[in-house]
Amino acid sequence: MNCQECKDQFDALLSRQIAAERRSTAEAHLRQCAACARAFAEEQKLWKLLGRAEKRPASLGFADRVLRQLDSKPAREPRWWEAWTIPWRWATAVAVLVAVLAVSSIAILRHQQIEKEKQARATHFEQLFSVAQVDDPDLILLLPLDQNGDTL
């Protein structure tokens, strides 16, 4: 039995809730290890002090509260890859934002281009309509209808 194993048996030794074989092994270690013997003596003093302390009843529901806490999941430390991903979450958010802005800009530019084309078609249609209104064929030749590549 090493020192840590021996210290782990202190409570069992003092409460006399230890198997005979384990007790004799721990007592053998205490006889040959001065450090553990000193630590065990301190533990014995503490147990005696606690034994003399005034006993107070636990508050109502104390056992239930303790059992509930024991049943609840312990808080877990984040794994290294979880801590590592936190800056990557921000990087991903920024990348998504940039992508959304780029797509929006392209959509706006495309919309403006479509509006210009619509305007040009409307203007062209108005010119064609004005041609239909003219009765004199010589006047038609003077109208600027070949701006969009159209000729009469």
Residues that bind Zn ion (CB under 5 A): 3, 33, 36
CB of 7 to Zn ion, least distance (A): 8
Give the nearer residue to Zn ion in terms of CB position, either 32 or 151: 32
Q: CB of 139 within 8 A of CB of 131?
A: no
Give the nearer residue to Zn ion in terms of CB position, either 34 or 60: 34
Q: Label residue 37 exposed, middle or buried (CB < 10 Å: 0-12, 13-18, 19+).
A: middle
Smallest CA-to-CA distance from 134 within 119, 123, 145 is with 145
CB of 2 to Zn ion, least distance (A): 7
Give the nearer residue to Zn ion in terms of CB position, either 39 or 145: 39
Distances (CA, A) of 25 to 13, 15, 20, 35, 65: 11, 16, 9, 16, 38
CB of 83 to Zn ion, least distance (A): 38
Give the nearer residue to Zn ion in terms of CB position, either 27 or 140: 27
Cα gap 65→72, rounded to integer Å: 11
CB of 11 to Zn ion, least distance (A): 16
